[in-house]
């Protein structure tokens, strides 16, 4: 009733303001017409119709505005009458549950059924959500302590999901309340990845920095006048600075890839020529490692949509890894063939080595940043732990995928599946 009274007073003030404005306009018009009548000697027969028209014009906007406001209110009322709580709940993409004063579920939308399952009208929320934070949230809302509140809640099964749960009353005097679950799982995962990335990057940079600082201190002290030790230490320091430079280059490359949007098709790349260029550029390194690179290419032109520089980087990383970590096998086979079907034609490029292989438990995580199946071997081969992560990001931009197959003692095969369109 208080709201109705306030609304009435507001409407009364609006009408009074409009009338006051109309009076001022009418008075100004009357003064103008009378002045013309007096000084220009106009007939009274002209004066009276002019005053009538002025009065109507002064009152017309107010009348039109009142009619428009009434029509808008009628349209709004008729539209809201057709709505129901069920329709509104269904329109919400997040899980939403409506419950009463006894914490009994009255309605749940489809997103709530998909997220939690086993939810039906008549079920007690206190039995469905037993976590202490959810119990405290329900108690605070139902007791009337607060009109709305929010807590963080984690659902453990079937998979762990993190939610920000908001609770509030519905309307006035309805004795109904609503819970809305905002999924925060992806944001939490990204936050953890960012924290892990910073920690790993700091660790990777701190190690060579500590080594360089130690050798500088030695060169300025005990090894000041030892030419042999000085040459050895300077060589180690140069290797460590090179390691830091490679790491920073890979970090910058990864950052640039993450900031780029998904690649739009349009530019075609000659895949055969790109891979031939990669093999030629890595030929000296392969010979130094005692590895022979073999080709098994399909006949005819092989073109794919994409960015040549980025695809060059993909196959350079994969072939370099095969030559470094599979050098004990003595050879690396680079094969390229047409795959897929007529509806989704594609090109499959496989780089296979015959080295020690990768243990099966490492394969799901090998494309993560800084993850290494063998830390010592990776550092010996001057790896940064970011190469396969860069490969994964580039292939994602190209709507492509990477498949890894390996067997310990028999080598590993990295297959890139690129769409032909």
Write out pLDDT tens, residues 286-334. Answer: 888 888 999 888 887 788 888 888 899 899 989 988 988 888 888 999 9
Same domain, 248 and 279: no
- Percentage of the chain surpassing pLDDT 70? 74
Say what the pTM is.
0.54
Same domain, 247 and 315: no
Same domain, 354 and 288: yes
Question: Which tokens belong to 29?
Answer: 């018009």
Question: What total of structural domains would you count in the chain?
Answer: 4
3-state secondary structure of 333: strand
Same domain, 216 and 317: no
Question: Which tokens belong to 299?
Answer: 């006949």
Q: Is 188 part of a structural domain of the chain?
A: no
Same domain, 324 and 211: no
Mean pLDDT (the chain) is 78
Q: Is 9 part of a structural domain of the chain?
A: yes
d(CA 98, CA 177): 6
Q: With contact defined as beta carbons under 8 Å apart, do 318 and 395 qualify? A: no
3-state secondary structure of 326: coil
Tell me, what's the pLDDT at 3? 46
Same domain, 273 and 391: yes
- Which structural domain range is residue 248 located in? 200-259
Q: Is 392 part of a structural domain of the chain?
A: yes
Tell me, what's the pLDDT at 232? 86
From 152, 183, 214, give the residue that closes a domain: 183
Q: With contact defined as beta carbons under 8 Å apart, do 347 and 302 qualify? A: yes
Q: Which of 143, 15, 49, 153 is nearest to 97 (CA)?
A: 153
Same domain, 139 and 254: no
Q: Is 217 part of a structural domain of the chain?
A: yes
Whether 19 has a pLDDT exceeding 50, the answer reads no
From 259, 288, 307, give the residue that closes a domain: 259
Choice among 75-89, 228-242, 292-306 with the minimum mean pLDDT: 75-89
Mean of pLDDT values over 162-166? 93
pLDDT per residue as tens digits for the range 251-272: 777 777 777 666 565 688 889 9
Buried residues in 175-190 as b, exposed as e (16+ CB within 10 A): eebbbbbebbeeeeee
Tell me, what's the pLDDT at 6? 47
Q: With contact defined as beta carbons under 8 Å apart, do 163 and 182 qualify? A: yes
Please, where are the H alpha helices in 129-270? 132-142, 185-220, 227-259
- Beta bridge partners, 349, equal 336, 416
Q: Is 191 part of a structural domain of the chain?
A: no
pLDDT per residue as tens digits for the range 180-211: 999 998 888 777 777 777 777 777 778 788 88
Q: Is 383 part of a structural domain of the chain?
A: yes
Q: Is 25 part of a structural domain of the chain?
A: yes
Question: Which tokens belong to 130?
Answer: 């037993």
Q: Which residue has the tokens 């006035």?
A: 172
Mean of pLDDT values over 14-38? 51
Whether 164 has a pLDDT exceeding 90, the answer reads yes
Band of residue 369 on the pLDDT scale cut at 50, 70, 90: confident
Same domain, 131 and 145: yes
Q: Is 193 part of a structural domain of the chain?
A: no
Same domain, 293 and 403: yes
Domain containing residue 272: CATH number = 3.30.565.10
Query: If you ran DSSP here, which 8-state letter would residue 327 be given?
Result: G
Same domain, 40 and 62: yes
């Amino acid at each position: 009733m208080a709201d109705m009274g306030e609304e009435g007073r507001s409407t009364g003030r609006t009408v009074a303001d409009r009338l006051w404005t109309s009076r001022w306009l009418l008075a100004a018009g009357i003064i103008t017409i009378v002045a013309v009548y007096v000084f220009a000697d106009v007939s009274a027969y002209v004066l009276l119709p002019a005053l009538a028209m002025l009065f109507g014009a002064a009152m017309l906007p107010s009348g039109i505005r009142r009619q428009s406001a009434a029509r808008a209110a009628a349209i709004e009322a008729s539209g809201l009458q057709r709505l129901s709580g069920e329709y509104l709940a269904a329109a919400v993409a997040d899980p939403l549950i409506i419950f009463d004063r006894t914490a009994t579920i009255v309605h749940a939308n489809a997103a709530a059924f998909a997220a939690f399952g086993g939810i039906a009208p008549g079920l007690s929320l206190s039995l469905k959500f037993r976590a202490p934070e959810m119990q405290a949230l329900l108690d605070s809302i139902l007791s009337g302590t607060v009109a709305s509140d929010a807590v963080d809640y984690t659902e453990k099964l079937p998979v762990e999901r993190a939610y920000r749960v908001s609770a509030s009353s519905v309307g006035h005097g309805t004795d109904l309340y609503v819970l809305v679950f905002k999924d925060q799982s992806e944001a939490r995962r990204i936050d953890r990845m960012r924290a892990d990335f910073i920690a790993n990057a700091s660790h990777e940079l701190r190690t060579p920095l500590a080594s360089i600082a130690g050798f500088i201190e030695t060169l300025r002290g005990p090894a000041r006048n030892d030419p042999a030790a000085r040459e050895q230490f300077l060589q180690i320091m140069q290797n460590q600075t090179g390691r830091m430079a490679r790491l920073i280059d890979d970090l910058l490359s990864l950052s640039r890839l993450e900031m780029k949007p998904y690649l739009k098709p349009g530019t075609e790349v000659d895949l055969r020529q790109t891979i031939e260029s990669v093999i030629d550029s890595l030929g000296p390194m392969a010979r130094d490692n005692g590895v022979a690179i073999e080709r098994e290419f399909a006949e005819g032109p092989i073109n794919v949509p994409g960015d040549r520089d980025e695809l060059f980087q993909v196959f350079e990383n994969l072939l370099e890894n095969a030559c470094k970590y599979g050098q004990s096998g003595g050879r690396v086979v680079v094969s390229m063939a047409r795959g897929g079907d007529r509806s989704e034609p594609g090109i499959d490029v496989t780089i296979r080595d015959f080295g020690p292989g990768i243990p099966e438990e490492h394969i799901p995580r090998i494309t993560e940043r800084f993850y290494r199946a063998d830390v010592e071997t990776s550092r010996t081969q001057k790896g940064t732990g970011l190469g396969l992560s860069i490969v994964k990001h580039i292939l994602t931009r190209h709507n492509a995928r990477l498949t890894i197959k390996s067997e310990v003692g028999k080598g590993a095969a990295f297959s890139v599946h690129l769409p032909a369109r």
